[in-house]
Structure 1
Amino acid sequence: MRSTLTRALAAVLLAAGFAATTAMPAAAQDTSSQDTASQDTVPWAVSTAANEFGADRVNYSYTAEAGEQVHDGLKVVNNGPAPLELAVYTADAFTRPDGQVDLLARDKKSVGVGAWARAASDHLKLGPGESADVPLTIAVPAGTKAGDFLGGIVTSVQQGTVERRLGIRIRLRVGGDLAPALSVEDAHVDYSGTANPFGTGDATLSYTLHNTGNAIAAARQSASVASLFGAWTAPAAAIPDSPQLLPGETWHVSVPVHGVVPGVRVSADVSLTPLLTDASGSVAPLAVVTGSAGGWAIPWTLLVVLVLLVLVVVFVVRRLRKRRADSAGASPAERPSAESEPAAAGTAESETVEPETAVSETAVSETAVS
């Protein structure tokens, strides 16, 4: 339990101190806070050695060929009033889910610059006010492929159950063909809908950035969601630049998109501009990379309204048909009275014919007399 607590605290302390050291080499971290402590309260300070690589550097940055060695140094100063014992070691770096750069734990195996870099001493004893210059050597193995590697050199002290660490980054670019590349993977759109049957809704666009190249790179991002076959496009909220991703690393992005028209099927477009940082710190934008995804945006509220309207129409039509059927069923009862009148009229007509017959007979009789 004590070992687990120690490792957890050490990881938090190192990440904050490691990031702060890039800007302020003498900063350290304490368990009482995740803020960077001032130089007046830390017991020790670290900095890069002043040599042909420069003075007052914020980190180590090199360009070397496979099989080459780089020689540098680390300066450590005990600013406290008591003797200080420090462990010194190197480790590979990685990007945490919060975007901060961290170093592998001491008991984890490094395979990059953390394995190639070695301090001349792995243990220091410093009296109050004393300092030490520790030689640092980076030996790039022969056959190492071109690309960027990131690690760090760490000084640490054990104080009870807390391991306090302070590190400086080591960034190495091995010569050769540099091929920075980022890709958009696992993109999808989730539509959350709206209560307004004729309104727009919100969606969430999620995707993963993958550094598929051999260079450390960040990404400037933008995205949008289109519906109604592209007739309506809603831009995503502003997306901050991604942290710098080491080769092979991934970064998950989730961004809200407002004003999406629920056109049953929607499509999302993601645009990335890779940002490549050189050894001098200059940032160069590269060719834009795009990605796309599809998703469903079904207007459920509108569908419910339409279903209700259909049910109402069906109900009205059935009522009208029933009334017509009832009217048709009542007409046969009225037919006898209607037929009796024509019958009476026919009888009268037949009776009126008889006098004509009589007259005809009379005429015949008269003819006979004459």
Structure 2
Amino acid sequence: MRPPRPCTTPALARATVVVLLAVLGLLGTGAGPAAAADGDASWTVGTAAGDFGSGRENYRYTLDPGGRLQDGLVIVNHGATPLHLAVYAADAFTAEGGRLDLAAKDATSTKVGAWVHADRPDVTVAPGGSAEVPFTVALPDDAAPGEYMGGIVTAPAGAGEGDGRLGIRIRLRVGGALKPGLSAEDLRVRYSGTPDPFGKGEATVTYTVRNTGNAILAARQAVSLSGPFGRFGVRAGQIGDSPQLLPGDTWKVSVPVRGVTPALRLTGTVALTPLLTDAANSVAPLAVVQTTADAWTIPWTLLLLVLIVVCGLTVAALAIRRRRRTRPARTGSAAALRPVDQQDSAG
């Protein structure tokens, strides 16, 4: 293994500080330099200058299966004591809140984290100095085509993950057919109703966005509801784009929809527009993917009102019928009540 190459020029130190500002957010380690285990030293990381250029914010490569390349990571120690850091590669994943993070050192990486190898597992950087740690990217012959995300990480040697770590993303494109794809899964519509028997209620549409392809994608989303034959249509308000999802990753979404007519049967529609970002950071929208699901929307308040009215009319009809049955008959009653003397005189 080659020892770390000293690299202490002021220009490089300034460059690494600039690069740090762009990459600190990638690992969730805070807004400033991470502290070393002893609390006295801090460091920054940056990309090494070489065949791939200088001043890069992160690493981007395109390699065919079985391909190899070499690059380097520059570490600058801003502290007053020697800095001993572990150096390792890790796969990326979508963390809670949509932020891309890198797996812990003891986690098993199967993609970028398994294909990137630092020339040494740790490095000691002198106070006020810097060191470059070369690393190799070596793809297996059976690497599947597509886009992958990972990173190379530095952390205090022998310390836990909570003691701070800094790293830089590695975005890798493996040669072959790129097949981007998204789907909306487990689509459900829940109608919450309204106390107004003639009013409109609110519904909640929930679903899971899944990256079903082999490209890193974000999703532009639109949600709508409609009644039978497409009537009583209503759209949800503006929905923010999903975070960038790695192949196989998922993102759960819950969308409120207001002004929904309880038309007995509702159809919910989710339209996803995949957003593909290329190496020049240009975003290209792809063909829209739609998913639908049906749900019952029973207007219980209106049905209760109708039931009360029907019951009231039924009770009233029965009362009228009973009153008619119990009324005394008048036919022949006058003759039966006339006095006997009036009957005799008549005879």
Q: What's the TM-score bracket when you normalise by the shorter of the two chains? A: 0.7 to 0.9
- SS of 2:213's equivalent in the other structure is coil
State the Cα RMSD in Å.
Answer: 2.8
From 333, 337, 340, the equivalent of 2:334 is: 337
Separation (CA, whole Å) in 2 of partners of 1:29 and 1:255: 29
Name the residue aligned to 2:32: 37
Pick closer, same or farther for the CA change 1:160–1:72 going to 2, 3 Å. closer
**Identity between Structure 1 and Structure 2 (%):** 47
Q: Which has the larger radius of gyration?
A: 1
Name the residue aligned to 2:297: 297
CA contact (8 A) 2:209 2:252 kept: yes
CA contact (8 A) 1:76 1:131 kept: yes
Separation (CA, whole Å) in 1 of partners of 2:232 and 2:336: 69
Name the residue aligned to 2:4: none
CA contact (8 A) 2:20 2:45 kept: no
Separation (CA, whole Å) in 2 of partners of 1:23 and 1:292: 43
Name the residue aligned to 1:311: 311
- SS of 1:57's equivalent in the other structure is coil
| Range 203-212 or range 225-234, more displaced | 225-234
**Is residue 2:266 matched to residue 1:266?**
yes
Pick closer, same or farther for the CA change 1:148–1:303 going to 2, 3 Å. same
What TM-score comes out, normalization by structure 2 length?
0.85
**Matched residue type, 1:331:** A
Name the residue aligned to 1:12: none
**Matched residue type, 1:133:** E
**Is residue 2:138 matched to residue 1:143?**
no
CA contact (8 A) 1:25 1:45 kept: no
State the Cα distance separating 1:62 from its structure 2 match.
0.7
Between Structure 1 and Structure 2, which shows a larger proportion of helix residues? 1
Q: How does 1:1-370 map to 2 (within 5 A)?
A: 24-25=22-23, 35-37=30-32, 43-157=42-156, 162-327=162-327, 330-331=328-329, 334-338=331-335
CA contact (8 A) 2:27 2:100 kept: no
**4+ aligned runs moved over 4 Å, structure 1:** 20-23, 26-30, 38-42, 158-161, 338-341
Pick closer, same or farther for the CA change 1:104–1:292 going to 2, 3 Å. same
Separation (CA, whole Å) in 2 of partners of 1:27 and 1:288: 31
What TM-score comes out, normalization by structure 1 length?
0.80
The count of residues paired between Structure 1 and Structure 2 equals 322
Separation (CA, whole Å) in 2 of partners of 1:48 and 1:304: 69
State the Cα distance separating 1:100 from its structure 2 match.
0.7
Separation (CA, whole Å) in 1 of partners of 2:24 and 2:203: 45
Task: Give per-residue Cα distances to partners, 1:33-91, cap 9 Å, x unaligned.
Answer: x7412699981000011122121111111111011002111111001122211000001
Separation (CA, whole Å) in 1 of partners of 2:110 and 2:277: 23
Task: Give per-residue Cα distances to partners, 1:97-149, cap 9 Å, x unaligned.
Answer: 31011111211111101100011121111121110111121001112121011
Name the residue aligned to 1:11: none
**Matched residue type, 2:128:** G
CA contact (8 A) 2:216 2:245 kept: yes
- SS of 2:314's equivalent in the other structure is helix
Pick closer, same or farther for the CA change 1:87–1:231 going to 2, 3 Å. same
Separation (CA, whole Å) in 2 of partners of 1:340 and 1:107: 112
- SS of 1:187's equivalent in the other structure is strand
Task: Give per-residue Cα distances to partners, 1:302-356, cap 9 Å, x unaligned.
Answer: 11111111111111111111111122xx106x52435899xxxxx999x9xxxxx
Could you list the runs of 5+ residues in structure 1 that have no partner in the other structure?
Answer: 1-19, 342-346, 352-370
CA contact (8 A) 2:217 2:274 kept: yes
- SS of 1:193's equivalent in the other structure is coil
CA contact (8 A) 1:158 1:164 kept: no
Could you list the runs of 5+ residues in structure 2 that have no partner in the other structure?
Answer: 1-17, 339-343
Pick closer, same or farther for the CA change 1:278–1:167 going to 2, 3 Å. same
| Range 131-140 or range 41-50, more displaced | 41-50
Separation (CA, whole Å) in 1 of partners of 2:218 and 2:306: 48
CA contact (8 A) 1:22 1:59 kept: no
CA contact (8 A) 2:34 2:164 kept: no
